[in-house]
Amino acid sequence: MAQGNAFSQWLHRATDSDVWWSFKSSSLTVAAAAVTVLIIAVSFLSPLLAPHTPFDPSTLSLSDGLKPPAWAPDGDWAFPLGTDDQGRDVLSSIMYGTRLSLVVGIASVFVSMLIGITLGLVSGYVGGVTDAVIMRIADVQLTFPAILVALLIDGVVRGLISVQRHDEIALFVIIGAIGLSFWVQYARTIRGSVMVEKNKEYVQAARVIGLSPVLIMVRHVLPNVTGPVLVIATINLGLAVISEATLSFLGVGLPSTQPSLGTLIRLGNELLQSGEWWITLFPSVTLAALVLAVNLLGDWLRDALNPKLR
């Protein structure tokens, strides 16, 4: 009972805030949120919802191969969006593939957040030579587009380990590669905010009572600079999903045994010339819808959390 009360109080506070108001009053944002939630929910429930298990070879039959979508003349309602050349159901592949794309996207955002926040906190709080070194590294990395950095990291890992081993750990390699290529923005933002915050009285007070610098940074400074981090994280989720799809499309991301949306688009692209458009078009549309929805949410969050724009 007490718990229910606390929840309803929290709900009341949340729905009474101006962030909620700005969310409610933008129908585009509500639509984007609905699409995002729908895509996330369907993809994570894919083992329950998907009509077929596309990556279990025993359930596949080559005679089901290259069926067009159900509404086409030779379509089959058992495969609503058609099948690929192996007889895999396109709809089920998309559901599993979206889940993988989201996992990579979210995990790599966390990796870059972790690296960026740590380096930003240290850089802003410690200052001096440490700050200079970290920020110059950031400058150099920022000279190059993130996708190139990710490609390079992937290439180096391929040089260090065997091909077969690489396929086994491809998921972690790609999360690390994308994570490492997006940390700069977090570090710069956090560093800027920390430099402002560290001269405020609460930080000085914490220092006077003898707290360790690590504790001050994590417990006192960090909670005060989370707003901008949240905005960057949302915008970067879209970028991370695109990066993963691009790497997989280029054939250096996830292998075809565990296809993400990008891998599906690459495999379908090879059949595009012969007129089998559905194998590549539907994953492309899913990817575009996901990224567009996440970007709209990011745009809205940036405006809503920035009081200057209101």
Q: Which residues of the shown chain bind another protein in the complex (CB under 8 A)? A: 136, 139-140, 143-145, 147-148, 151-152, 154-156, 158-160, 238, 242, 245-246, 249-252, 265, 269, 272-273, 275, 277, 280-281, 284, 287-288, 291-292, 295-296
The residue assigned the tokens 């709209």 is 296
- For another protein, the closer CB: 136 or 200: 136
Residues 48 and 90: beta-carbon distance below 8 Å: no
**Exposed (0-12), middle (13-18) or buried (19+): which is 8, by Cβ within 10 Å?**
exposed
- For another protein, the closer CB: 18 or 139: 139
Which two three-digit tokens encode residue 30? 């509500």
Minimal distance in Å, beta carbon 227 to another protein? 23
- For another protein, the closer CB: 24 or 136: 136
- For another protein, the closer CB: 159 or 307: 159
Minimal distance in Å, beta carbon 289 to another protein? 9
> What interhelical angle do 226-249 and 261-272 show, nearest 10?
30
Minimal distance in Å, beta carbon 299 to another protein? 9
> What interhelical angle do 226-249 and 146-160 show, nearest 10?
60
- For another protein, the closer CB: 51 or 251: 251
Residues 49 and 95: beta-carbon distance below 8 Å: yes
- For another protein, the closer CB: 139 or 168: 139
Which two three-digit tokens encode residue 284? 């492309």
Minimal distance in Å, beta carbon 240 to another protein? 12
Q: Is 104 helix (H, G, I), strand (E, B) or coil?
A: helix
Which two three-digit tokens encode residue 44? 């994570």
Minimal distance in Å, beta carbon 261 to another protein? 10
What is the 8-class DSSP label of residue 67? P
Minimal distance in Å, beta carbon 197 to another protein? 29
Beta-carbon contacts of residue 236 (< 8 Å; ≥ 6 apart): 109, 112, 182, 185
Beta-carbon contacts of residue 64 (< 8 Å; ≥ 6 apart): 76, 79, 83, 87
Which amino acid appears at position 301 of this protein? Answer: L
Q: Identify the bridge partners of residue 258 per DSSP, sorted by sequence position.
A: none
Minimal distance in Å, beta carbon 251 to another protein? 6
Minimal distance in Å, beta carbon 70 to another protein? 20
- For another protein, the closer CB: 13 or 136: 136
Minimal distance in Å, beta carbon 283 to another protein? 9
Which amino acid appears at position 196 of this protein? Answer: V
- For another protein, the closer CB: 125 or 300: 300
- What does the alpha-carbon distance between residue 283 and residue 82 come to, in Å, rounded to a whole number? 12
Determine phi and psi for 205, rounding to 5 degrees.
Answer: -60, -45
Element (H, E) at 198: none
